[in-house]
């Protein structure tokens, strides 16, 4: 196990070492000590290494992740796992706004709460939040799944495309063109898999599914008031 200490090393050097690992590296386990809320920690990783961050981070932690597993033993600032392509990011604490924004793939797990705009414009990423999410979560979400074990704030799924939203708790309000959908067997199977992978203690039957009403895909004068 390799240890990198941000108390003695500049962030650029820490990230350069992680980003420079070859796909067949035998240095697969890394620990980052003293993150002290630093920004863009473990960003831009492209190999299947495992990185444990011993504390809370600032914005864009694990951004653009591709194949790595990043575990933050604390909370994360805005934009954690932003534009993530693959791999796994786990946050033990809370995540600030727009967690998982524009993510194309992989799994983001937030074991606490996530703030506003969680999963904004998500494009294939799967996000599991053990707590609550804030307002405008999954805004313009295109594909992937957002799973919320707690409650969701105002305007959930506003201007939603084809992402799947699952909420166990209360939804304060739904955004434009978002509606409750039937839970079919394939959705139960998907949710069962995501809950297991995220280590979430919940049953898929406890959730409700939300998706796009598909009225905003093309302009229709009959729906003009919805735009």
User: What does the pLDDT look like over 150-161, one tens digit per residue?
Assistant: 999 999 999 999
Check residue 55 and report its DSSP letter: S
CB 110 within 8 A of CB 94: yes
- The better pLDDT of the pair 81, 1 is held by 81
Residue 222's pLDDT is 72
Q: How confident is the model at residue 219 (pLDDT cuts 50, 70, 90)?
A: low
Residue 156's SS3 state is strand
Q: Averaged over 193-202, what is the pLDDT?
A: 97
* CB environment 203-221: b (16+ within 10 A), e (fewer): ebeebebbbbbeebeeeee
Segment 186-208 shows an average pLDDT of 97
High-pLDDT (> 70) share of the chain, %: 96
Average pLDDT over residues 198-225: 86
Give all domains of the chain, ordered by start, each with its CATH number. Answer: 2-215 (2.160.20.60)
The stretches of 152-212 forming alpha helices (DSSP H) are 185-197
- The secondary element (H helix, E strand) that includes residue 164 is strand 164-167
- Structure confidence at residue 215 as a pLDDT band (50, 70, 90): confident
pLDDT value at position 205?
Answer: 96
Model pLDDT for residues 90-146, shown as the tens digit of each residue: 999 999 999 999 999 999 999 999 999 999 999 999 999 999 999 999 999 999 999
């Amino acid at each position: 196990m390799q240890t990198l200490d941000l108390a003695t090393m500049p962030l650029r050097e820490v990230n350069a070492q992680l980003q420079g690992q070859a796909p067949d590296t035998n240095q697969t386990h890394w620990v980052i000590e003293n993150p002290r809320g630093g920004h863009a920690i473990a960003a831009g990783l492209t190999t299947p290494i495992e990185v444990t961050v011993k504390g809370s981070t600032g914005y864009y932690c694990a951004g653009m992740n591709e194949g790595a597993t990043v575990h933050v033993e604390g909370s994360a600032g805005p934009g954690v796992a932003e534009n993530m392509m693959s791999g796994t990011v786990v946050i033990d604490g809370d995540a600030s706004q727009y967690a998982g924004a524009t993510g194309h793939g992989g799994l983001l797990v937030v074991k606490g709460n996530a703030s506003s705009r969680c999963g904004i414009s998500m494009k294939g990423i799967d996000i599991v939040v053990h707590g609550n999410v804030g307002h405008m979560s999954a805004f313009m979400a295109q594909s992937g799944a957002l799973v919320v074990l707690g409650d969701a704030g105002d305007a959930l799924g506003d201007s939603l495309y084809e992402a799947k939203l699952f909420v166990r708790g209360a939804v304060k309000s739904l955004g434009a063109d978002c509606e409750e959908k039937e839970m079919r067997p394939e959705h139960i199977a998907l949710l069962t898999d995501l809950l297991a992978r995220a280590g979430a203690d919940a049953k898929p039957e406890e959730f409700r599914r939300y998706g796009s009403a598909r009225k905003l895909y093309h302009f229709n004068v009959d729906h003009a008031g919805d735009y």
